[in-house]
């Protein structure tokens, strides 16, 4: 049986606060030590130390935050959604409590997902490093103006892009921003990164699927600089002339699976259909 878990929840979302409280109560009643922390605030190191499982009471955004928090620890993550089907949350509230004994009993398998690593190698922010589960994006800094980005793969120059941005996505992130920009869908257990330009002008407008060992270099050629964004949640302003090196991370995101994964593409179709229906009902 598990001895200690961390429950991560988004801030200011009442249903998530209630769900996190219910999960914490259930853990305590079962004799499992539990810590509850907000996903967007400072998570104390002691909350992660000794934890055997991170339970995310929220949506995909909370899971993305958990994956980065776990680095460099290979902590399994279990996402519990609050009614809206997500790509990264495997259980709804009812299913979580129905399967609670199995969860705290450690009766699950671990699936590893590739993460992407980025290091700023030149410029004012040189030395800053990041890991992302979905994607790392280099985008324009000024609305209405494109950014000029030079792309190199394994040291070989590919092209100079005049674009809105460049996405470097993992297989997990291939169903997100990269997909909306015309990128391909990869099964989540693949080991390839995908480079997708956003609204590229007079350049290679298609995505590139890289070899697992490849390194991507993005050089900012715009005087006004650019913005580096990790998983859509962390931003770093980069000056013109900055250079970023990206590759498959040495760290993996670990997901706790109660049952063997079924068809990825079947689940994908279901999730995309749910998202489309939700957007239509909201008038988006």
Q: CB count, 10 Å around CB of 85?
A: 16
List the alpha helices (DSSP H) in the chain.
14-29, 45-48, 60-70, 93-98, 100-104, 177-180, 264-281
- With beta carbons less than 8 A apart as the criterion, state whether 77 and 256 touch: yes
For residue 138, the surrounding DSSP H or E stretch is strand 135-140
List the alpha helices (DSSP H) in 39-115.
45-48, 60-70, 93-98, 100-104
CA 95, CA 259: separation in Å to the nearest integer? 12
CA 270, CA 87: separation in Å to the nearest integer? 10
Instruction: Compute and round to an integer the Cα radius of gyration of the chain.
Output: 20
Sign of the four-CA dihedral 82, 83, 87, 89? positive
Contacts of 83 (CB under 8 A, 6+ apart): 92, 93
Catalytic residue among 60, 98, 235, 284: 60
The number of angstroms, rounded, from the C-alpha of 22 to the middle of its chain's C-alpha atoms is: 26
Name residue, tokens 């291939």. Answer: 174
Q: Which residues pair with 191 in a beta bridge?
A: none
Catalytic (active site) residue 60: yes
- DSSP secondary structure code for residue 83 in this structure: S
Using alpha carbons, select from 218, 229, 223, 244 the residue that is nearest to residue 122. 244
Active site residues: 60
């Amino acid at each position: 049986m598990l001895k200690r878990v961390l429950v991560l929840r988004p801030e200011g979302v009442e249903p998530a606060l209630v769900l996190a409280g219910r999960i914490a109560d259930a853990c305590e009643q079962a004799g499992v030590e539990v810590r509850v922390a907000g996903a967007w605030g400072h998570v104390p190191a002691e909350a992660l130390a000794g934890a055997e499982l991170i339970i995310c009471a929220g949506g995909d955004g909370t899971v993305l935050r958990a994956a980065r928090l776990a680095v460099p620890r290979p902590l399994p993550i279990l996402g519990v959604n609050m009614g809206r089907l997500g790509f990264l949350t495997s259980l709804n509230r009812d299913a979580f409590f129905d399967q609670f004994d199995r969860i705290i009993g450690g009766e699950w398998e671990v699936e590893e997902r590739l993460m992407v690593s980025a290091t700023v190698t030149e410029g004012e922010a040189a030395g800053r490093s990041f890991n992302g589960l979905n994607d790392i994006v280099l985008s324009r800094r000024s609305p209405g103006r494109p950014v000029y980005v030079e792309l190199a793969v394994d040291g070989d120059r590919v092209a100079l892009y005049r674009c809105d941005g460049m996405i470097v996505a993992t297989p997990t992130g291939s169903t997100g921003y990269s997909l909306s920009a015309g990128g391909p869908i990869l099964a989540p257990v693949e080991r390839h990164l995908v480079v997708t330009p956003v609204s590229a002008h007079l350049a290679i407008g298609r995505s590139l699927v890289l070899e697992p060992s490849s390194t991507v270099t993005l050089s900012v050629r715009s005087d006004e600089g650019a913005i580096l964004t990790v998983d859509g949640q962390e931003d770093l302003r980069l000056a013109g002339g900055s250079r970023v090196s990206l590759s498959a991370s040495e760290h993996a995101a670990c997901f706790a699976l109660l049952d063997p994964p079924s068809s990825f593409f079947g689940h994908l179709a279901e999730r995309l259909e749910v998202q489309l229906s939700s957007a239509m009902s909201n008038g988006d």
